[in-house]
Structures are given as C-alpha cells and as structure tokens.
Amino acid sequence: MSQGNDLSAFWMPFTDNRGFKAQPRMFASAQGMHYTATAGHKVLDATGGLWCSNAGHCRAPIVEAIRAMAGELDFAPTFQLAHPKAFEAASRLALLMPEGLDRIFFTNSGSESVDTALKIALAYQRSRGQGSRTRLIGRERGYHGVGFGGISVGGIVTNRRQFGTLLAGVDHMRHTHDLARNAFSRGLPEHGAELADDLERIVALHGADTIAAVIVEPVAGSTGVLIPPQGYLQRLREICDRHDILLIFDEVITAFGRVGKATASERFGVTPDLITMAKGLTNATVPMGAVAVRREIYETVVGNAGPGIELFHGYTYSGHPLAAAAACAALDLYAAEGLFERAIELESYWGDAVHSLKDARHVIDCRNIGLIGGIELEPRPGAPTKRAMEAFHRAFDQGLLIRVTGDIIALSPPLILEKSHIDEIFGKIREVLATID
C-alpha cells in the first residue's frame, strides 16, 4: 500500500516519471514572485507557474474570495440551474473581450476550452444550414491541449503518437518558425506573413464548403515561443472571411496581460470569432477555462434550435462557484494593480534582457513579445532536448524556475516582477548555460 510520502501512486502528467521519482524536485509553498522548495531554498518563478500565475502567488484578495465562497456555496449545478457568481464572472469577462465576443461558455481547463470551441464551431455551421462544413484546420507545431479534439488540430506529433486514430477530416497549415530569416527578432518577426496563404492550399484541396473553422495560437507557447510574423494574423483573418470560415484564437497563454493587453487579439488588432482561455483567468488558483463567442454564433445556435436544450455540451463544474469567485477577484486585482499595462511598461527592458543572451553559450535564437521570452539552444548532437532539460534542472537547484520545451527555454514570469527580478533571471540563465555542455 502507498504511504503518504510515497511517490509511486501519482502518475505525473507530461513528466519523465522514472527520472523525477529518482531525483524529485518539489515545492512546499509560494508567495509573490517565489516558490519555496521542499529542500528549503527559494525559487524565483520565471514561468508564472505554468504560464498561469499572472499576478504572482497566494495573492490575498483571491485567496479570501475563494475562502468566502467555499463557506457560502461550495457547489451549485449549472445544468438547468445556476448561481449568481457565474453570471457575474461571465459579464466581467465579456467586458474584456473584443467587441462582439460577449457570450461566455465556462470550462475547467484550456483543453476543455479548445474542445468546446471546436464543438461550438461545428454546431454553428450545422445550425445555419452549412452541415457539410465539418473540417477543422490547425497548424504544425500548434498546441491546443490534450483532449481528442485538441490533439487532433494540434501539430505536436509526440502528443498524439500513442493514441491512434483521432478526429477525421483535420488538416494542418505550415508553422511560422523560420530561423533562417527571423533569428533574433525583437517583437513580431519581419518575414512570414505569406505563410498564412497555406490556408488557401488547404481550401483548394478540400473545398471551402467543407471547412468549419481554423484554430491557431496568436503566440505559440508549448512548441517553443513562436511569435507571429508581421501581418500574418491579419492575412489569416482575411482568408477566413473570404471563404466564410470561423477563426478561433487559442489564447490560453496569451490572455490576461501576458502580451500587454487583455487578449492578444487586442494587442495585434485582429478579432477572431471565438477565443479560448484558461490559466490566468483565475490566476491559476482554481481550475477554470472559458470560451468567448461572437454573439451572432450564439444567437444562431440558440435561435435555430428546437424547444429545450440548444447545445448538448457542458461540464459538471462549468462556472463552479469557487472558480467564479476566483475569476472575479483576479480580474479585480489585475485592474487595481494595472498588470496588463505593466507588461507593456516592462516590455522593452524585458526584451533587452532576453536578447542579452544572444552571445551566451549554446544560444541560436532569442525572441520576445510582451512578457514572454524564448531562448532557443542548439540541440546536443545525438541527444536533442537533453541540453535544455539539464539547464532546467540546474536552474531549479540554483533558485530559478524556467520552462523548457524541446531545446527551447520558455519564459513567462508573473506580471508583478521588478527589473531586479529580470536581471536575476537572465543572470542565472547565463550562468547555467556556461556550465553545461
């Protein structure tokens, strides 16, 4: 039988379980910009937990809101019933979205948000008499969570290799990563807008009347911080409009201030038809996700349905009271401390720090937008990913939490960071890179 301090029972997600359990690295507590490891040392958080603790850790207003709601209403179903906080959270969230995307469907994670958005897109096409539009188009290297819909439209092969046949009728556009032309770009890379035209190839192959929606991350995170080329998202929007295809932005990592605005849609001036969110919505204190939907889509699905339920979809915990309370408190905190604006204020200093590693050992590219940074390392010959993982472990042991994906260091610190934190983050990364082969 497993004991309380036994590591064997927990099958850890996206983890080398054998390696971790042989040499575990664990957190005991967190506050503000830091974790405290079980070994006792402080760890500066350069990743916002997992792209999610945008206001830092254990913030009192959010903690108190959760505590109060737990004592007042622990759970209420939202199937044919509801509670006021869910409606308040939805209304508050709708005010942050681009104009017209003011219908909110709550989920519990980014993965659920993606599958929900894909299903809403299909339901909309059927509701408006376009039932032949069943294809869903993703992008190479895209990450859209781990539901069967998300890994189908996603373009990271290792995320779907073990799981056999996925959704039928899915296709993928080319990715936008182009080191040859765009290495060491600051902000949006200059080259690559024309890569959006790959959607025209897919339209010509399958026919526009078979395509329901296109889904992309405005900034691709899990594949290694890929910043959209100048004009790329605008061009993608134009092509979708030309062929009457819905455009979905997966903003699970970019929403709530990460790129200096409430959404990447606002930052880049491109409005999709649906936006998926999670992570920063509650500052990661209670699991919650959401899909913001263009009102016309909602009205089509609801208005064209027969009597009774209009969309046969949802989750037991959609709009959970504790999550709704956490979301409202997080949105209050973001506004009170001007954290979205803070990302813009620090963007230049942050960008200088990211690109200061241009001459660091093993570095072949640096890229940044908002308070996001990507440091791409040359893969170790015959052992791709090993160099970055070694950097991850050494950084943790030296008091710095970074994230690595492939051979790329991905950075997304809490928006409360100071310039001194930025200096510490990049100073330690340089030191770590100097010590590994």
pLDDT in tens, the chain (437 residues): 445 579 999 999 999 999 999 999 999 999 999 999 999 999 999 999 999 999 999 999 999 999 999 999 999 999 999 999 999 999 999 999 999 999 999 999 999 999 999 999 999 999 999 999 999 999 999 999 999 999 999 999 999 999 988 999 999 999 999 999 999 999 999 999 999 999 999 999 999 999 999 999 999 999 999 999 999 999 999 999 999 999 999 999 999 999 999 999 999 999 999 999 999 999 999 999 999 999 999 999 999 999 999 999 999 999 999 999 999 999 999 999 999 999 999 999 999 999 999 999 999 999 999 999 999 999 999 999 999 999 999 999 999 999 999 999 999 999 999 999 999 999 999 999 999 99
Same domain? For 332 and 347 the reply is: no
Q: Are residues 328 and 360 in the same domain?
A: no
CATH number (domain holding residue 29): 3.90.1150.10
Decide: helix, strand or coil at residue 350.
helix
Which residue is it, tokens 């906080």? 85
- Helix residue spans in 311-418 (DSSP H): 321-336, 339-355, 386-397
User: Which domain range does residue 35 map to?
Assistant: 17-55+338-435
Rg (CA), the chain: 22
10, part of any domain:
no
**Number of folded domains in the chain?**
2
As given in the structure block, the two tokens for residue 72 are 């007042």
| pTM score, whole prediction | 0.97
Q: Which of 336, 351, 371 is the last residue of a domain?
A: 336
Looking at the fold, whether 330 and 244 belong to one and the same domain comes out as yes
Kindly state whether residues 80 and 106 are assigned to the same domain.
Answer: yes
- Residues 358 and 230 both lie in one domain: no
Q: Is 131 in the same domain as 246? A: yes
Q: Is the same domain home to 184 and 256? A: yes
Rounded Cα–Cα distance for residues 95 and 102 (Å):
7
**CATH code at position 270:** 3.40.640.10
Q: Are residues 182 and 123 in the same domain?
A: yes
- Nearest in space to 280 (alpha carbons), one of 399, 88, 126, 414: 414
Whether residue 243 sits in one domain with residue 107: yes
* Closest to 48 measured CA to CA, from 220, 221, 216: 221
